[in-house]
Amino acid sequence: KDVQKEREPHVYLSKEEVKEKIQSYNSSVTDKLKMTLNANGVYTGFIKVQMELCRPITVQSSQSQGRCAPSSTETAFYLPDGCVNTLHISSTNTVREVIEALLKKFFVADNPAKFALYKRCHKEDQVYTCKLSDREHPLYLRLVAGPKTEMLSFVLREHETGEVMWEAFSIPELQNFLRILDKEENDQLQILKNRYAAYRGKLEEALRGVLKPG
């Protein structure tokens, strides 16, 4: 079940409460991805983000300069379904910063405005997925929920087409989107042509069998 832009009240914890929660969190960690509390009250830790991208992403080499400039080193491809990435972040990092860091880590050239971060949680034997606002803090959500991904996990998806701020994209990026759409349209058209050609062939073969003399 997808719940768009669900909001839960943000409980502001005291430094002592944060310390206690981090100690409890670390005592339950099984993969060594613990949290660390700094003297200034900021804490750091790890989150895992599952990639659920339906459209191809554009990846550039580390030598490519500029997010918007077309380059022969850029390649568009589909990510394997269910790919999971781990990020080390702080409690001050927002959802928007997490998305940007995730894309930068893997040299993704696409504009971060194309993507949204979702949280997936279990409540009363049901799975709920809701989009996080750009200003929310994923590590705080991870701390409150505990380390078990069955209780809370993060998912990166594309924005729905109607939600994308197209004016935030450069002309080369928009042109690249059009090329991708043209390729997807041609691929789907070829699949349909092949399907109906096979269907036509079977009908013609059956018709010849019926009309065959004797």
Domain boundaries, the chain: 15-60+70-162, 169-211
Single-letter code of the amino acid located at 136: E
Write down the pTM of the prediction: 0.67
pLDDT in tens, 160-169: 655 566 666 6
CATH number of 15-60+70-162: 3.10.20.90
What integer is the mean pLDDT of 130-155?
92
Give which of 32, 31, 29, 16 is closest to 145, Cα–Cα: 29
For the range 99-103, what are the long-range contacts, defined as Cβ-Cβ under 8 Å and sequence gap of 24 or more?
Answer: 99/156, 102/49, 102/156
Rounded distance between C-alpha atoms, residue 124 and residue 116, angstroms:
25
pLDDT in tens, 76-134: 777 777 789 999 999 999 999 999 999 888 788 888 888 999 999 877 778 888 889 88
Rounded distance between C-alpha atoms, residue 116 and residue 195, angstroms:
35
